Amino acid sequence: MKIGVFGAGSIGCYVGARLLAAKAAEVVFVGRPKLRDQLLASGLSVQDFDGPRALVAPDRFTFATEASALADCDVVLCCVKSQASAEAGRELAAVLPPGVTVVSLQNGVRNPTTLRELLPAQRVLASIVTWNVIAVEGTYRRATSGPLIIETAPPALKTALQAAGIPVQEHADIAAEQWTKLIVNLNNAISALSDASTGTLLLDAGYRKAIAAVVGEGISVVRSAGVKLAPWNGLPLGLMPKILGLPTWLVKLVTRAQLKVDPAARSSMWQDLDARRSTEVDFLNGEIVRVAQRRGTKAPLNARIVELIRAAETKGVGSPRLSPNELWRQLTSVT
């Protein structure tokens, strides 16, 4: 099987490298010239939590900068940022033959729809990447646990992913799963604004207070719009703000049973802010604001998060490194 990765970043490089390391598929990456030069010089290094590191030699994969390199792939994994989905759809439409499967490995809830509109001759599948990937000293390391949730997948793709050690769950009706992941991802901005690791956020009552408030508002908004939410790690999503409000020692027990977290884990939004790139805040916290506006109501906490992230993007100096108290003060200053 030949699998293309369009938008090779942390997620795309991790999945592609796992497939290559397991010899489960041929892989063609399409990404930025800088990353191409780096990987073709040093190879592609991948690691799962604290497991052994695998290094894939440069002669084992193809890395290109143009979508045309994906023309003969059986499956294409679309890993671009949400704000680039429309452009990605147009580029892929120009080179992919009819019937090719395109899987959206992206945050947010609208990307599969955007791709389907631009790729009517291809089969576009939604998916949810429930885990986080960080780049540590040139190695793409999975930093949190969880499966890849996907709509009914081609058997060969599912077999390849499982052979690569990537657990797969199939859901024919994936919308509820997408909305649940979006709600969970509302904390990405807290990571970006604080410069704190995922572990630090979970163990600091002040940061948890902010996350609980933002997530609680998100749940309330989407439920008022009639959106169905799936459980998260087996628990009703409505319990998330309540769990975050528990004493730290109890939060440790609950999260340890639900999720494995690498000490270095940070959100993709933090990574974008640190790299002085535009973030996906409009497709995460901004999505909650849009739903509220359609309902004729407001989502002041998530709207404020969007303002704070945009301000940080404009300054171009990375995370503002807000303390728990300062974050809460800025978050509630206009509500």
Q: Where are the domains of the chain?
A: 2-172, 176-331
The predicted structure's pLDDT at residue 258:
62
- Distance between CA 269 and CA 250 in Å, rounded? 27
**Spatial CA neighbour of 109 closest among 186, 43, 4:** 186
Class of CATH domain 2-172: alpha beta
The predicted structure's pLDDT at residue 152:
87
Ranges under pLDDT 50 in the chain: none
In the chain, how long is the greatest CA-to-CA distance? 56
Contact between residue 45 and residue 17 where contact means Cβ atoms under 8 Å apart:
yes
DSSP 254-298: HHHHH--B-TT---HHHHHHHTT---SGGGTHHHHHHHHHHTT--
- Distance between CA 56 and CA 44 in Å, rounded? 5
DSSP 43-79: -EEEEETTS--EEE-GGGSEEESSGGGGTT-SEEEE-
The architecture that CATH gives domain 176-331 is Orthogonal Bundle (1.10)
- Distance between CA 203 and CA 71 in Å, rounded? 47
Per the listing, tokens 């002085």 go with: 276
The predicted structure's pLDDT at residue 260:
72
The predicted structure's pLDDT at residue 161:
96
Per the structure block, which two tokens stand in for 185? Answer: 């991802």
What is the bridge-based pairing of β-strands 44-48 and 139-142? parallel
The predicted structure's pLDDT at residue 209:
96
**Spatial CA neighbour of 39 closest among 50, 26, 30:** 30
